[in-house]
Chain A
């Protein structure tokens, strides 16, 4: 950028710099291009068992008068793209009448750009929830079942000391019945001493135990926090960065998934709240055993208290094992590792069952737990904090299981109680007004600069246009970058501020000309003396952009992203590009009469 004055000729730019410029501009142009074409509404129809074919789908739709643009097969699903917008929902209903509910039909968007752009790896800019609409979920953390499991755990614990103890846990309340007063008093003292978080009321020969309000509040808070964490982890796994996961009210979690037009895929991950637990097998069917069916429907007696629960799982990965079947490799935390070591040491040769539970909301609104024994493995040796389970099904299923386990395991079940797709109408309106503002701002700036600086102004304008191309290209190129309405505002602000770099340089060049230098000298020293100010000014704005990005969320992040990227591209175009252009046109002009 700054040629060494002693050696290189004045205003000489090496050929490779022009090549860098050309390559960058062409790449960014290609990257920005798919966004111009926009996206087509589409449906994803899963076809995991391969019973569907494209011809049938096309026939169903054309019979109902829905015009399709194309039907293509991607992995194990069909992508049905529509020629015109607004047919998605209609088409979904038509298709769902014809195919059974084993196949999920998901709303989606497909790039409308010509295939060769897609094949080059360029995709349209990802738009945020406010620009394209999206899905919003409201989840409810079912704390009642946590209280229940606490009550059950207390009962199990008390029974270890007193095997004759009879009691039952019901709705988070533990009711203990006693034959004689001595037992009752002894247990009461024990609870007061060791389990002070339970408040006791006596009822003849019964003790009723309820968690104290403070304890309930802290359990609730922990359960929600853990679920928030888990959901954030899962969303991250889904690859949606601007998703919002927020606590709402006491025990609800709101999730916004911009760009996701189909609840199905997200719901698979978010909705199927799963947990895993390892149980020892119980040798006979008794009241104390837990009966869970396996994949073939055979009942299996398990010891009610799990060896350890999913909360100890740190990592879970699916891969193909030595025998060619899918397996999930599990890593436990230290406490979980100890539990597993202790248990497996004294149980070598005994079977251990892996129980997978899924929670769903029943018709009467109650959350239902569906458990299944997914594998019974014989413990071959003492297990540490790393081991693997097999029998999770196909690799795909193992991957899904691993994903759920890895993203964290839930101690409190979560159910989706509301699911809303935000219509794209409003988003389209926002896109329209945002880009109208951008177009107006950009054209006014171009006219102004062209009038103010005349010949040099055209360079600044060209630099500004290249800047916009680079900015759009970069946003499209960066994984995880999402354009939001505040993001467009950031673009508009960038247009205004990007010319600053050129303005600073041009003002310096004018100064130098006034001081009597010739144009070539003025250009050289103008660029050199403006650089420090340019650097300072951009750095401070960059500090703001980074602070905004790291602390802010949703809309603020969208703004910070375009602001920060805009600074980078405006440095590239304002300093590098405009220097190359000016060098090319006036670099050797030693006239002192030139006015700019």
Chain B
């Protein structure tokens, strides 16, 4: 029992930390905004291979004077490999770039280039928001069917917290927010929900088997009995996603970072916010006493 009481304190403390982190995230989101990727803003990104002896500043100066607008230039892995980015100025950007780079170095190669117009970016933002909204609504419907509203709401809030935390990190570090990051956010939603559901399932089971127990003790007991599963699954998922971060290359970096934080946060929030909130909203053992005949497996001791 002593142990369990301490667990309750730990959960409350974790929730407080979460609130602090959430406030920090919101601050960064408002204060710094996002480094939107090409997918959303439109513009030109080109990876080029040049004579390795050329200096970054020279390339930049030449391109800017020749193209007549600002060009961002980033060094990439490999000698003489650069990434150029700039807003779409006219319709022939790539052809113009080609001519301009040709003046710079006789041997060059445009490894890969993309031009995305501003309308396309607008479409992407709309589609992305729609996807997130739809996922929210669908999972909400499913959760409220599956659990009593207090646990369901707890899971949804925990889930929203995870998303906001990842968004906060991207604002704070000004990491590029592109389409793959959006996909990662949605995957985080799925993962976080997964965690919350496993714990909620166990809470329901424990509440049913011990209708007269102290609610905090029962919540602690549920968490304690799922903790090894939580650690193993989070552990393996984090390990694989870290492998992605480590070896996946620059194209997947943002995706892996978003997933890493999201998974860690998902585990954290399903233990803390996901259980503390339902209790604050008055979760009682009797809320789960109606034994559902359709679902005999859950009722097993």
* Contact with B241, one of A425, A452, A493, A552 (Cβ below 8 angstroms): A493
Contacts A499-B232, A503-B232 hold; do A442 and B240 have CB atoms under 8 A apart? yes
B139/A452 in contact, CB under 8 A: no
* Contact with A485, one of B94, B117, B201, B252 (Cβ below 8 angstroms): B252
- A369 contacts partner chain B, Cβ-Cβ < 8 Å: no
Task: Tally chain A residues at the interface, Cβ within 8 Å.
Answer: 70
Closest to B90 in A: A249
Nearest CB on A from B102, distance (A): 16
A548/B119 in contact, CB under 8 A: no
- B182 contacts partner chain A, Cβ-Cβ < 8 Å: yes
- A486 contacts partner chain B, Cβ-Cβ < 8 Å: yes
- B228 contacts partner chain A, Cβ-Cβ < 8 Å: yes
In the complex, which residues of chain A have a beta carbon less than 8 angstroms from the beta carbon of B130?
A: 551
* Contact with A437, one of B119, B120, B243 (Cβ below 8 angstroms): B243
B131/A547 in contact, CB under 8 A: yes
Q: What is the bound-complex CA distance between A409 and B150, given in angstroms?
A: 56
In the complex, which residues of chain B have a beta carbon less than 8 angstroms from the beta carbon of A448?
A: 232, 235-236, 239
- B194 contacts partner chain A, Cβ-Cβ < 8 Å: yes
Q: What is the bound-complex CA distance between A530 and B112, given in angstroms?
A: 48
B131/A552 in contact, CB under 8 A: yes
A537/B259 in contact, CB under 8 A: no
Nearest CB on A from B186, distance (A): 5
Nearest CB on A from B101, distance (A): 15
A486/B252 in contact, CB under 8 A: yes
Instruction: Give per-residue flags for A528-568: 1 if the beta carbon is below 8 A from chain B beta carbons, else 0.
Output: 11011100110111011101100111111001100100000
A555/B247 in contact, CB under 8 A: no
B198/A533 in contact, CB under 8 A: yes
- B91 contacts partner chain A, Cβ-Cβ < 8 Å: yes
- B211 contacts partner chain A, Cβ-Cβ < 8 Å: no
Closest to B300 in A: A529
Contacts A247-B120, A486-B183, A532-B295 hold; do A499 and B236 have CB atoms under 8 A apart? yes
B251/A556 in contact, CB under 8 A: no
In the complex, which residues of chain B have a beta carbon less than 8 angstroms from the beta carbon of A422?
A: 112
B88/A548 in contact, CB under 8 A: no
Main DSSP-derived SS at the A contact region:
helix
Nearest CB on B from A242, distance (A): 13
A541/B186 in contact, CB under 8 A: no
B249/A433 in contact, CB under 8 A: yes
Contacts A448-B239, A486-B255, A504-B198 hold; do A426 and B247 have CB atoms under 8 A apart? no
Contacts A492-B241, A547-B131 hold; do A537 and B198 have CB atoms under 8 A apart? yes
Task: Tally chain B residues at the interface, Cβ within 8 Å.
Answer: 69
Nearest CB on A from B112, distance (A): 5
* Contact with A504, one of B111, B229, B235, B251 (Cβ below 8 angstroms): B229
Nearest CB on A from B242, distance (A): 8
* Contact with B243, one of A247, A444, A507 (Cβ below 8 angstroms): A444
A437/B138 in contact, CB under 8 A: no
Closest to B248 in A: A437
Q: What is the bound-complex CA distance between A490 and B256, given in angstroms?
A: 11
- B116 contacts partner chain A, Cβ-Cβ < 8 Å: yes
Q: What is the bound-complex CA distance between A436 and B242, given in angstroms?
A: 12
Q: What is the bound-complex CA distance between A422 and B112, given in angstroms?
A: 6
- B238 contacts partner chain A, Cβ-Cβ < 8 Å: yes
Nearest CB on A from B80, distance (A): 14
In the complex, which residues of chain A have a beta carbon less than 8 angstroms from the beta carbon of B182?
A: 556
- B66 contacts partner chain A, Cβ-Cβ < 8 Å: no
B236/A540 in contact, CB under 8 A: no
Contacts A437-B244, A497-B191 hold; do A536 and B197 have CB atoms under 8 A apart? yes
Instruction: Give per-residue flags for B97-112: 1 if the beta carbon is below 8 A from chain A beta carbons, else 0.
Output: 0000000000001011
Interface positions, chain A 425-477, Cβ under 8 Å from B, are 425-426, 429-430, 433-434, 436-438, 440-442, 444-445, 448-449, 452
Q: What is the bound-complex CA distance between A556 and B134, given in angstroms?
A: 15
- B217 contacts partner chain A, Cβ-Cβ < 8 Å: no
* Contact with A555, one of B180, B198, B256 (Cβ below 8 angstroms): B180
In the complex, which residues of chain A have a beta carbon less than 8 angstroms from the beta carbon of B201?
A: 532-533, 536
The CB with the most chain B CB atoms within 10 A, among A252, A444, A507, A560, is that of: A507
- B8 contacts partner chain A, Cβ-Cβ < 8 Å: no
* Contact with B246, one of A249, A440, A503 (Cβ below 8 angstroms): A440
A: residues with CB less than 8 A from B are 130, 246-250, 252, 254, 418, 420, 422-423, 425-426, 429-430, 433-434, 436-438, 440-442, 444-445, 448-449, 452, 485-486, 488-490, 492-493, 495-497, 499-500, 503-504, 507, 511, 525, 528-529, 531-533, 536-537, 539-541, 543-545, 547-548, 551-556, 559-560, 563
What are some 6 contacts across the A-B interface (CB < 8 A)?
Answer: A441-B241, A441-B242, A490-B187, A504-B198, A544-B193, A552-B183
- Cβ-closest 6 pairs across A and B: A441-B240, A496-B237, A441-B243, A496-B240, A544-B190, A433-B249
